[in-house]
A and B are shown apart, each in its own frame.
Chain A
């Protein structure tokens, strides 16, 4: 819209503006240029606000109820059996990164002690950053916001993550490690 278009004010609009301006002091004239529903604001009574807040409360209840209903349909485990790596290829104290259950779902396998393997999704439960194994600290770390996870259980030890890392059930057969399922709890 060009400047010339703005300069041409219709006659009826100009008279309405004059009427408004006659009821105002000069401090309030800016409101002619930036009109808003001044009178409608006054119509919102306390009781009406209370009524709206109760309906908003109903909406919040409905949202929580939907989550509760969805929790009955949500699978607690997912994924099929898939080979990860030969157990002999992961030395004690080292980690092996793989994907499970899908090609985009990154996970980490840890060889904690002799013959003791654990695996977790390495997506941080805070904001989904990639969690990595810190051999020096003996912890799973999230570099984004300094989240720290226990390598045995996946529990949160420090930082903002609200939940433990999802655990991946393992099965060893003929020296090969298999991921069986990912537990969401």
Chain B
């Protein structure tokens, strides 16, 4: 394949970038979900969701 090195770098770089971006989005979502659960476990509720028992 002509210019195989450039094609390989382009696809490998794009794959690594997309994987890193996707993992960051999922990691951020899990981190926020854990924080929310920790607050709820402490009995803290949003005012609109009613007060804690």
- Are these two chains actual partners, yes or no? no
